Amino acid sequence: MMHSATDMAADPRARATRPEGTLVSDPDDGTELLEVSMGPHHPSTHGVFRMDVALDGEKVARLKPVFGYLHRNHEKLGEGNSYLASMPYTDRLDYICSLTNNWAYALAVEKLAGQEVPERAEYLRVIVGELTRVQNHALSVGFLLQDMGASGTPLMYGFREREKILDLFEALTGSRMMCNYMRFGGCRVDATPEWLDATRKVVAGLPGFADEFEALLCTNEILMARTQGVGILKPDLAVSAGITGPMLRASGVNYDIRKVDHYSIYDRFDFKVPLGDHGDVYDRFMIRLLELRQSIGILEQALKDIPGGPVMDPKAKIRNFRPKPGEAYGRIEAPKGELGFYLISDGGPNPYRYRVRPPSFVNLTVLEDMCLGHNVADVVLILGSVDIVLGEVDR
């Protein structure tokens, strides 16, 4: 009835772990593995995250990610809160991209309760969602370069652009990072014409930033030497391991939930899905820059077409919100991958089960497979190219 070990080894999708006890170097030369704990306070881990690494000389022979330092049982908190009260908590999952967290949760609850969203609210959601993607990608590329030793400059270029976008978020939602902007059936406040003009101004400046960023980085010799051919993720394994987002598309798998699920109003916009060839760190870096350009295109179209009208469905119930018994899984293409919420309602004011499907948590599954056989200095880059946020991994 059960599978055997041989069955798994024959499968190309199976894990790439070396058989127990095998070393990279000759076992007879009197060497043994050196076990190192990387983290939890290592600056490259982007938070409190640890890797149990076994090294054979300079090469990684085994790597086990250890996390949970930031665990506060977000899902249990969700079960104890009303549906709406969980909305500000979703900001704290991936705290770089609070607006896409809001969106995924709102989408799941709207599916659960069968609610409609007015057109203007959908446009606003797309605008803030794509702005979130731009600032996330600018930041993650900046941090990747920072990890590589390019201290400061690329990161500060990313931060400069992010600051402009965070100012827009603050003007619209009242908060730079913990936006708490979406509601079931729309958005909390409408955007003023002045805000839309300011956004158009920022978006008009973004292609220049993308040009500058690409000119600065893409053909940099050190970057290419450090990242090309490092941390290769094969498409078969990527699909099997449920990798999503830029990391999956860097491996050449064409799967973007904005195109697949046709959620919200993404059908109305003309944009392409960039794909990588090699699935290495360089491709993952490059995909983010290309996606950033596509997001700018979506923003330009959305800001041109945005209609008037209400931003909340007038029939939406705010108080005493009790969806009918049932369940729903809603997902969006968040900047880091598929962010899903699975909700079970028993007819009460709180969800019976509140599950978050975090993209960076699942994307970490293949960290070991990508790092095996590489130098320990490359582990830092490979982890940086996964783009994790521990608020979401640990929940």
Q: How far is the CB of 275 from another protein (least distance, A)?
A: 13
71 belongs to the binding site for another protein (CB under 8 A): yes
State how far the Cα of 331 lies from the Cα of 343, in Å rounded to an integer. 11
Looking at beta carbons only, is 313 or 327 nearer to another protein?
327
Q: How far is the CB of 99 from another protein (least distance, A)?
A: 21
Strand order in the sheet with 34-38: 34-38, 50-56, 59-66
Binds another protein (CB under 8 A): choice among 361, 370, 382, 391: 361
Cβ atoms 127, 302 nearer than 8 A: yes
Cα 240 to chain centroid, rounded: 18
Choices 180-188, 196-204, 221-229, 320-328 (CB under 8 A): range interacting with another protein: 320-328
Binds another protein (CB under 8 A): choice among 179, 217, 292, 362: 362
Q: How far is the CB of 3 from another protein (least distance, A)?
A: 5
Q: How far is the CB of 149 from another protein (least distance, A)?
A: 30
State how far the Cα of 395 lies from the Cα of 10, in Å rounded to an integer. 35
Q: Which residues, other chains included, contact 149 with Cβ-Cβ below 8 Å and sequence gap of 6+?
A: none
Choices 38-46, 118-126, 306-314, 317-325 (CB under 8 A): range interacting with another protein: 317-325
1 belongs to the binding site for another protein (CB under 8 A): yes
Binds another protein (CB under 8 A): choice among 23, 232, 344, 372: 344
State how far the Cα of 18 lies from the Cα of 62, in Å rounded to an integer. 8
Q: How far is the CB of 249 from another protein (least distance, A)?
A: 11
Q: How far is the CB of 74 from another protein (least distance, A)?
A: 10
> Under rule CB under 8 A, how many of the chain's residues touch another protein?
52
Cα 386 to chain centroid, rounded: 9
Binds another protein (CB under 8 A): choice among 7, 163, 170, 197: 7
Looking at beta carbons only, is 161 or 256 nearer to another protein?
256
| Amino acid of residue 231 | G
Q: How far is the CB of 140 from another protein (least distance, A)?
A: 21
Binds another protein (CB under 8 A): choice among 280, 338, 378, 392: 338
Contacts (CB under 8 A) with another protein, residues 238-277: 239-244, 253, 255, 260
Question: Exposure of 324 by Cβ count < 10 A (0-12 exposed, 13-18 middle, 19+ buried)?
Answer: exposed
Contacts (CB under 8 A) with another protein, residues 223-242: 237, 239-242
Binds another protein (CB under 8 A): choice among 88, 327, 350, 377: 327
68 belongs to the binding site for another protein (CB under 8 A): yes
Contacts (CB under 8 A) with another protein, residues 105-144: 111-114
Choices 147-155, 193-201, 206-214, 336-344 (CB under 8 A): range interacting with another protein: 336-344
Choices 187-195, 225-233, 308-316, 340-348 (CB under 8 A): range interacting with another protein: 340-348
Looking at beta carbons only, is 53 or 202 nearer to another protein?
53
Choices 132-140, 201-209, 299-307, 325-333 (CB under 8 A): range interacting with another protein: 325-333
For the chain, the farthest-separated pair of C-alpha atoms sits apart, in whole angstroms, at 75
For another protein, the binding residues (CB under 8 A) are 1-3, 7-8, 11, 13-15, 67-68, 71, 73, 75-76, 111-114, 237, 239-244, 253, 255, 260, 323-329, 331, 338, 340, 342, 344-345, 353, 355, 357, 361-362, 364-366, 394-395
